[in-house]
């Protein structure tokens, strides 16, 4: 019998107690401030997480998509370096934001956003492919998958966008209960929106339909992740400014995966509820212990690994960087519950 199974009854009791305290998802104010599970000098931002073959893989914002591998959700972690081997011809630089990976019949597919040439710094979303989850990944085709107004030969003209010339970022794959594949993303600048498009089984091309707007905000809404719970769809997103402690994780529910307009934005992770400065960029993945799950997110740390405190002008100290946090996660029907932090 493995150590994980031996300790499972005790672990289950601890997790149940922690989750009973959490209630709607926020850590109680009396709980100890969580510590990061990984806080390298360069930081870990906007984690896209995949659990595969007994390991966790984190893809993060940075030059050509840095990635990390952890034996467990709390580590130890190994730096895999930049996994995007080369840049596509349309990219102005390798400053990649919020990459995320998924396995399809075509192999491992990496979605990423990068500044596009001749778009004044605005970003497009590209696709890369690899035979191994840890890369290296090579760009697919000569054009991005999504670009403002269909620039650089992208298929989606994105009608009805809140800011027509703004870029597109934060790609996130989703597969529904029928096995159909989709890609969510955010339109940049404010007002902002979350959109979704249908992709083929390989995950690398369109099926011909235009993208649809899931939700729009006068302020910032970004970092989408979509999950299906029976007939209910749960949309996770980050709200407010990423560069301060107001950043937070919310969730919305709907019986129509294409329409979350007017739905309540329920708080899941906030600075006040967790003690973490700006808990955002959340991603939910299966755990390594039976049917449990884990939620990964980033938060700002300063002076080592202590949560940052905003300065009087609302900014963060000069040594601020984002670190990786992880917590126990479960579903209460279609309601997400965050338990003990690891």
Distance between CA atoms of 336 and 53, rounded to whole angstroms?
25
pTM of the complete model:
0.90
The DSSP call for residue 20 is H
Could you give the CA distance from residue 70 to residue 76 in angstroms, rounded to a whole number? 6
Superfamily name and number for 3-341: Glycosyl hydrolase domain; family 43 (2.115.10.20)
Q: Encode pLDDT of 150-180 as tens digits.
A: 778 776 666 678 998 889 999 999 999 999 9
Query: Is residue 30 scored above 60 in pLDDT?
Result: no
Q: What is the pLDDT of residue 290?
A: 60
143-157, 178-192, 242-256, 288-302: which has the minimum mean pLDDT? 143-157
Q: What is the mean pLDDT of residues 10-36?
A: 49
| Alpha-helix runs per DSSP H in the chain | 3-6, 8-22, 271-274
Asked if residues 287 and 11 have their Cβ atoms less than 8 Å apart, the reply is no
The sign one gets for the Cα dihedral 56, 336, 188, 107 is positive
pLDDT beyond 70 at 239: yes
Residue 252 · residue 262 · CB < 8 Å: no
- In this predicted structure, the answer to whether residue 27 has a pLDDT above a threshold of 60 is no
Give residue-wise pLDDT tens across range 128-139. 999 999 999 999
For position 161, what pLDDT does the model report? 83
C-alpha 330/C-alpha 335 separation (Å) is 9
Q: What is the mean pLDDT of residues 314-325?
A: 96
Provide the token pair at 316: 């963060």
- Enumerate the domain spans of the chain: 3-341
Confidence of residue 209 (pLDDT cuts 50, 70, 90): confident
Chain-centroid distance, C-alpha 291? 21
Name the average pLDDT for the chain.
89
- Residue 57 scores a pLDDT above 70: yes
CA distance 301 to 35: 10
Q: Report CA torsion sign: 43, 136, 198, 158.
A: positive
């Amino acid at each position: 019998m493995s150590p994980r199974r031996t300790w499972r009854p005790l672990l289950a009791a601890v997790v149940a107690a922690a989750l009973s305290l959490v209630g709607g998802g926020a850590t109680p104010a009396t709980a100890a401030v969580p510590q990061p599970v990984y806080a390298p000098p360069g930081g870990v931002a906007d984690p896209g997480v995949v659990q595969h073959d007994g390991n966790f893989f984190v893809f993060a914002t940075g030059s050509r998509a840095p990635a990390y591998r952890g034996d467990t959700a709390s580590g130890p972690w190994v730096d895999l370096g930049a996994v995007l081997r080369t840049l596509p011809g349309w990219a102005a630089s390798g400053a990649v934001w919020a990459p995320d990976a998924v396995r399809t019949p075509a192999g491992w597919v990496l979605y990423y956003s990068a500044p596009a040439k001749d778009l004044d710094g605005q970003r497009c979303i590209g696709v890369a492919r690899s035979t191994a989850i840890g890369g290296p990944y090579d760009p697919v085709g000569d054009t991005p998958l999504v670009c403002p107004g269909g620039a650089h030969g992208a298929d989606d003209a994105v009608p009805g966008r809140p800011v027509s010339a703004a870029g597109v970022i934060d790609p996130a794959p989703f597969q529904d209960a029928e096995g159909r594949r989709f890609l969510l993303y955010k339109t940049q600048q404010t007002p902002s929106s979350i959109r979704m498009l249908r992709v083929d089984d390989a995950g690398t091309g369109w099926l011909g339909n235009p993208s649809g707007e899931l939700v729009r905000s006068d302020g910032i809404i970004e970092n989408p992740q979509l999950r299906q719970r029976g007939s209910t769809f749960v949309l996770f997103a980050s709200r407010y400014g990423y560069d301060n402690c107001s950043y937070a994780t919310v969730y919305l529910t709907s019986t129509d995966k294409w329409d979350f307009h007017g739905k309540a934005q329920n708080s899941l992770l906030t600075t006040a509820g967790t003690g973490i400065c700006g808990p955002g960029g959340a991603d939910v993945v299966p755990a390594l212990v039976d049917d449990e799950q884990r939620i990964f997110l980033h938060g700002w740390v300063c002076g080592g690994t202590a949560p940052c405190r905003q300065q009087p002008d609302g900014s963060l100290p000069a040594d601020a960087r984002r670190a990786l946090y992880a917590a126990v996660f479960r579903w209460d029907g279609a309601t997400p519950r965050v338990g003990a932090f690891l």
